[in-house]
Amino acid sequence: MSDLIQVLVPIAIVVVMPVLVVWLVMRARQHEVDKRAEVLLKAVEKGAQIDPAFFGNVGAKKKSVKGKLMGYLTTAMITGTIGLITLVVQVVFYSILGIWENGDGALILFVILSGIILAVGIAFFIVYSVGKKTYAKELELAELEDRP
């Protein structure tokens, strides 16, 4: 019985939770579309003029260039920091305990995963740097608009 629970817990975390999150988000969007359709039908019944902007993207929020770049920078800092800290802690911890000599594959796997997380952080930082250079004019215009 305990073996079954040990198998079901990772499956629930890896499969069921993401499916549940996607289902909840899609359900919320569908609910918003249904409410808009209901309002539209009532407006048509009463003969009101319908604004074409009413049919815009449901739930889509336009981010500014600056907002996107700050999102990339935030993601780079979080993933890079987590990857670096876990990598350093694992290497120091395992070298102090002398576990490296055993050749345990799980330990090497955790170090590789930490390296991958660190690489993702570095990649997001590169995207941020390139985006900052690419959108320099747009950022300057946005900064001028924000000034009083």
The answer to whether the beta carbons of residues 138 and 100 sit under 8 Å apart is no
Count up the domains in the chain and report the number.
Answer: 2
User: Which structural domain range is residue 7 located in?
Assistant: 1-60
Are 49 and 94 within one domain? no
Q: Which pLDDT does position 60 carry in this prediction?
A: 60
Q: Which of 45, 60, 75 is the last residue of a domain?
A: 60
pLDDT for residue 61 is more than 90: no
Which is more confidently placed, 1 or 36?
Answer: 36
Are 43 and 72 within one domain? no
The answer to whether the beta carbons of residues 79 and 121 sit under 8 Å apart is yes
Are 53 and 99 within one domain? no
Are 30 and 100 within one domain? no
Are 16 and 27 within one domain? yes
pLDDT for residue 59 is more than 70: no
Are 35 and 78 within one domain? no
Are 41 and 69 within one domain? no
What is the tens place of the pLDDT at every residue in 77-128?
999 999 999 988 888 877 777 665 665 666 777 888 899 999 999 999 999 9
pTM (predicted TM-score): 0.58
What is the tens place of the pLDDT at every residue in 7-22?
887 788 888 888 999 9
